[in-house]
Chain A
Amino acid sequence: MGHLIKIYLYNTMIDYIITVLLIAAIYAIFALGLNLEWGFTGLINFGHVAFLAIGAYTTVLLNLSGVPIPLSVIASMCLAGLCGGLLGIPTLKLRADYLAIVTIGFAEIIRFALLNEGWLTRGAMGLYGYSRPCEELIEYLHLDYNTFFFLVVLLILVLCYLILEKLIKSPWGRVLKSIREDEEVPTSLGKNVFRYKIQVLVLGSMIAGLAGSLLAFYLQYINPWNFVPLVTFYAWIAVVLGGSGNNKGTVLGAFILWTFFSVTRFAQGYAPLSPTQMGALRIMIIGLLLIILMMFKPEGLLGKKEELTLES
């Protein structure tokens, strides 16, 4: 009997760990999109969550109206990318801070639209009852869906990472880094800086859209509160923590952040604090850790000192 309890506990533990890693992997993909924009190109996007929301809602809405899953995911990425590009056109020719302001505004507009356009999104009620990839097959094979989906997300994360690394190490990536440092230089050498920035914003938004699709499949129920501005800053924390302009660092940052979140959630049961207090405490601890990190290792855990983006 004691033996059985042990096995049960062990299995729930494994389940729990897989869930944590699954969420971390989804947000790692999300953060990789931001790292392309900020880490490699120096674009300040404070509304990255908008593209996560666009991805999630597009996937779910298409899914609910019977569009096959792969098509709906591709459509989500395209729509997110399109929105990114459209935001970039009026702002990327202006000073860098304009993009920051416009993206913050855009993310809030999207969230309020999701809340208020009930005919489409069912507002605060959220959306559910959509299907997930290969659901029947996995059931038929008597496999654990969470584990299966974790492996799918992991595969996508690895693919994103590899594609981004290849891009960054190409001549295209070299131009991005030159834009990040001083866009007058690539301009003086005949590079169309505006075109590169648009490409980056489109690509970064597509990646966020993909993360949004995956998040929707994981959650099985989405509502506008999944897409509050704080989510953008989780991505920023992951990028800065791991080292801006470093894809490995970004993935590491996302995993550290989500491990921290779940460990503290675990500790909730033992702490004499209300959930709200606990939530606030978690953010405070993260803030404190980031301040300490910035004091001693401003380039982030894996970043290179010589490539520090913040210093001018």
Chain B
Amino acid sequence: MLFGTIKGMLSVQNVDKSFGGIRAVAGCSLKVDDGAIIGLIGPNGAGKTTLFKIISGFEKPDNGAIRFEGENVAATSSFELAKRGLIRTFQLSKALTKLTVEENMMLAPQFQHGERIWNIWLRAKEVKRQEEENRAKAISLLELFDLLPLKDEYAGALSGGQKKLLEMARAIMADPKMLLLDEPFSGVNPTLAKKLLGHIQDLRENKGMSFLIIEHDMPMIMQLCDYIYVLSKGKVIASGAPDEVRADERVLDAYLGGV
């Protein structure tokens, strides 16, 4: 038995999802171990983003089970999953354009005292202290993502690549146990992308964070991931260590429009 024996961070079991006549995800299974960095690749329309939405509770699967830390979460609402440490980013980046870059970051931390109305009056000191802490953290993350000089700009003023970066920084700011990144490096310059690869590995090493990453840049995904799943037409057509996947004929076929 492939699943259920190893207690992983995330496991997806036989998940189906159709939109009208289109079977976007067709009996998909994968798993992510604690502290693993897993890649999810496949041609456009393969169902990668849909699978992310299902995992993060933004879409309900027609069939199948999603286990997060061993618990079936197929019916859990998306914000509760995020609260439990499963954070996703969006393929079409969703920087909040009418908030500043810093405000975007400050939104992310969980359990902020100041998010409860009464605390704003009754625990004003703690709220302020927490804001200061979070601000310091935001600033160091923004620095890492080359966004610090823009911290007081409205996020609407950022370029496409910068919005992607902001979204990834914001997701990390939420201190997730597991991060789902949907094409995080599209539009990001290669030097910075390389630096961020290092940071992802850091987060795994120092915080035990797990990652599931959709990315089209093959060399980058090969370098970063422990294990890769290849999705085509809603099905996992191959999986394995980067070298195995690279050598797999089926993968090439899928990308060239075969299968």
**A residues lining the B interface (CB < 8 Å):** 166-167, 170-172, 174-175, 177-178, 180-182, 184-193, 199, 306-308
Contacts and interface: CB of A to CB of B under 8 A. Distances in A.
Given A174-B106, A189-B108, A306-B98, A167 B82 contact: no
10 contacts: A172-B115, A175-B115, A178-B107, A184-B90, A184-B94, A185-B107, A187-B82, A189-B174, A193-B79, A306-B97
Interface of B: 56, 58, 78-80, 82-83, 87-90, 94, 96-99, 103, 106-108, 110, 112-117, 120, 127, 131, 154, 156-157, 170-171, 174
Contacts of A199: 117
A171 B90 contact: no
A189 B106 CA distance: 11
Contacts of B156: 306
B116 to A, nearest CB: 7
A189 B170 contact: yes
Given A167-B120, A185-B96, 13 more contacts: A166-B120, A171-B112, A171-B115, A171-B131, A174-B106, A187-B58, A187-B82, A188-B90, A189-B82, A189-B107, A190-B83, A190-B87, A190-B110
A192 B115 CA distance: 11
Contacts of A189: 82, 87, 107-108, 110, 170-171, 174
The majority secondary structure among interface residues of chain A is helix
B132 to A, nearest CB: 12
Contacts of B90: 184, 188
B250 to A, nearest CB: 33
Given A188-B78, A189-B108, A181 B99 contact: yes
Nearest to A308: B98
A184 B58 contact: yes
B174 A190 contact: yes
Given A166-B120, A189-B174, A174 B99 contact: yes
B54 to A, nearest CB: 14
A233 B106 CA distance: 35
Nearest to B106: A174
Nearest to B153: A306
A306 B108 CA distance: 21
Contacts of B58: 184, 187-188
Contacts of B117: 167, 172, 199
A308 B97 CA distance: 10
B83 A177 contact: no
Contact of B107 (A166, A170, A175, A307): A175
A147 B83 CA distance: 52
A190 B82 contact: yes
A202 to B, nearest CB: 10
A164 B82 CA distance: 29
B95 to A, nearest CB: 9
A306 B95 CA distance: 14
A190 B82 CA distance: 5
Contacts of A307: 98, 154
Nearest to B157: A306
A138 to B, nearest CB: 32
Contacts of A187: 58, 78-79, 82
A167 B171 CA distance: 25
B114 A171 contact: yes
A175 B106 CA distance: 10
A171 B127 contact: yes
B58 to A, nearest CB: 7
Q: Most B CB atoms within 10 A — which of A178, A189, A199?
A: A189
B116 A172 contact: yes
A182 to B, nearest CB: 6
A177 to B, nearest CB: 6
Contact of B79 (A166, A167, A182, A190): A190
